[in-house]
Structure 1
């Protein structure tokens, strides 16, 4: 496995994850409500028997650091999965879009509902599904681009 490609994919995943994190935190400021990722973190904490703030409370800086730090770790891990599973010769656009869609399906359609930390995605409204689809498509594209750029000679 090419270590530069792995590093590039992880970096791409982190860049995309940071962008999504910024959007989520900006949404919290705009609406005065916790973001979807904070809600997921709280539901996970509750399942583990950890006390959580009120559902409508904005996250403290500590909670935000834990939540967004976990989100970025997941983004980096997804970048590593991309590098390990996608052929080096694959196109950035094709592989990025397929990877982003697969990651979206894995997290929102399967894992979250199976763990009981989010309602099944098929119960979400079209706007939410569209937003999640676009976010994960961009995530996949940026991850693929990072991998490709890291291997340019």
Structure 2
């Protein structure tokens, strides 16, 4: 049996000796992050999705929020000192980050972007997010994430 190919996100975790746990799911029948969490047997509050936005200034930002929440664009804009922000189009994701929709990891992107992690992450010992490939996630201490990328905690989801 062939060894699974490592993603750039997993390589980066290993280069920095950051402990992590892999979570896998198989099949194309999953439509959203809540279903992914359920399929993997994870708490949706603890499973996070990575969203990429662009501000009015044309600067890009990354938001990491629980899969069972929705980004509040007003709060998100305030968190990054922008007048307004908008989600980037799906076709822009791969050239900008190196990742596809549904497999976007906040780590090991092509470029570094200001990143906001939802404040709820601080109540968990570990959080789970994409490892850079659809069907593969990593679980790690959110403090360890902060050692890899510049992360700011903020409440950026709709109430």
Q: Which has the larger radius of gyration?
A: 1
Q: Same fold (TM over 0.5)?
A: no
Q: Which has the higher helix share?
A: 1
- TM-score normalised by the shorter chain: which range applies? under 0.3
Query: What TM-score results when the alignment is normalised by the length of structure 2?
Result: 0.23
Q: Which has the higher strand share?
A: 2
Structure possessing the higher relative contact order (Cα contacts under 8 Å, 6 or more residues apart) = 1
